Each structure stands twice: as structure tokens, then as C-alpha cells.
Amino acid sequence: MNLCNIRTVKDIMARYGTDTKKGFGQNFLINPAIPEDIAEESYSYHTRENGMGESAVLEIGPGIGALTAQLCERYDKVVAVEIDKTLIPILGETLGEYSNVRVINEDFLKLDLKSFLKEEFNSTPVSVCANLPYYITTPIIMKLLEESRDEGRCMLTSLTVMVQKEVADRLCATEKDSEYGAITASLNYYGRVKKLFTVAPGNFLPAPSVTSAVIRIELYKESPYSVKDEKTLFEVISGAFAQRRKTMLNSLSSSLGFVSKERIGQIITELGFDINIRGERLSVADFCALADKIYEEKKK
């Protein structure tokens, strides 16, 4: 079954009495080369990192299964989480030939992710591969990053995901880039981000109003960063970008109520930064150093 054929997609949806739902951010791929390329990018990196042993992948929002089928062709085990209950019987048909896939009708954002990963995959290395709903891209990515560690070990190998190109530019930015922000710095704490390729609107049904891009987040097995308190680190990163038009000093002093503006200024200069520096000029290592100093103030 060609799950990227427009007529096939429309016929399946009509037969099951449903349609794409804007509220769930559903845009189905109609160019077969795209899901093939996404799945191959995910699997090739997975095998490079984990060898040719048992492989597993988690997909979020499988739609009618165009990408899922390609993942089934490559991975030993595929688990797909779909929020739209009307798509579950459709997936039962479109993925019927595969015995290595399990589809779960759940809201991914409400899952206890750590327990879910243990129950579904045990100790098998897991990658994530998905065409993410654009309206909740950031919450999904941050949940994957924040909740996939167990006793300091990351339970995921990588995230290969399709997002809006504008979001991809932001996630792949480096310090000094205008797109660099709190999400960029936070994400870089967990891994390296690479843009793989862009996808034009015409490759979807219905066609979105924006260009898309596929990125890969290569998660650190062992973090190159050391920080005394992660909660403080993310408070500092968030505070540094809370008021982008202001200096980091002014932005942080408005966000961190437990330390005075004067002391924040002293910490900034103690670390060798200009007092008028802005958050987008700091690397992850810089934020870790800043957070450690501020954490010491929090403990007083």
C-alpha cells in the first residue's frame, strides 16, 4: 500500500469516516522519498552508535503510518504513540503486514516517559523518529530530553524529527546567532543538533503554510558539562532570555528573586564577562559556570 499516494490517503480517510485534524497538527507526507530519507537518517545513526544488535525506535504521531512503515523496514521494534483514536483502526490496516510494531493510543505529553521506556524497551537502545506536530514541537522535545535519563544515563540515542524550518534554525543556532535562545542553550546541554535537510510544503496533505526541516539531536552518552544543580541552570538560561532586548544582568535580576541585581552583576564580572553582555553570547559551558555561582547564592 502506497501511504504517500494522495488518492490512497484520501480513500483511506474517507473509508474510515475521518479527515486530517488541524487541532492535532496533522499533515501527512505524500512524497515517498521523504519518510524513506527520515527513517534512513535515524537508523544509520542508530547503528553507528549502537552497532547491529537489537534496535528499537519510538515514533510520536504516526498519522496513517507512512514513516512508521519505513521504520518497521529497518528497526527490530517500533513503538508509535498516537493521540487521535480515529487513526488507530487505520494504522491497524496500513501497518498490518508488520509484526514488529506496536501502536499506543495515548497523549504523549501525559506519559510517564521513564517508566514507559523501561516497560516498552527494557535495556534495548532506543532512538526517536517523528514528524512532530508543529504546535507542540518544543514541549515534546523537552519532555524527551528531560525525562529520558535514569540514574544519570540517557535512555535514548538520538532524536530525528521534522519541525518547522524556523524552529530548526533556532534549535541549530550557536551563540552569537540571532536565532540563539533559551531552547537552543537548553537543548545543547543534552546533545549536538544537526540540520539534515528541508522539506517543501508541497510534500504534505494538506500543505502547511511553512517550509519544514529534518534535524537530528545526537544525545550525549556522557555529558561534557558539569553543573552543581540542573534546576538552577535552566532557571538561569530561561532568565537570561526572558527579556531579550535587555542585558543579561537586567533580564536575570527580573527573573531571579533570590539574588540581588548587585550580586548578579558581580558574578558576571567575576566570570570575565562584560557587564552589558546579553544571553545570546554565552555558550552552554558559560551558562553552567554562571549557574554554579548563582546556585551558591541560592544556598545562602
Instruction: Provide CATH 1.10.8.100 ranges for the chain.
Output: 230-299
Q: Does the CA dihedral 95-99-101-102 come out positive or negative?
A: positive
The per-residue pLDDT for range 23-60, each reduced to its tens digit, is 555 678 889 999 999 999 999 999 999 998 899 999 99
pLDDT < 50 regions, the chain: none
pTM for the model stands at 0.92
- pLDDT attached to residue 146: 92
Q: Measured between alpha carbons, how far is 260 from 281 in angstroms, rounded to an integer? A: 22
Q: Taking the C-alpha atoms of 223, 225, 230 and 235 in order, what is their torsion angle to the nearest 10 degrees?
A: -130
Domain 6-219 maps to which CATH number in 3.40.50.150, 3.30.43.10, 3.40.190.10, 3.40.630.30?
Answer: 3.40.50.150
- pLDDT attached to residue 23: 58
Order of strands, sheet of 212-219, starting from the edge strand that comes earlier in the sequence: 101-105, 77-82, 56-60, 126-131, 156-164, 212-219, 191-199
Instruction: Provide CATH 3.40.50.150 ranges for the chain.
Output: 6-219
The amino acid at residue 77 is K
CATH superfamily assigned to domain 230-299 = rRNA adenine dimethylase, C-terminal domain (1.10.8.100)
- pLDDT attached to residue 258: 87
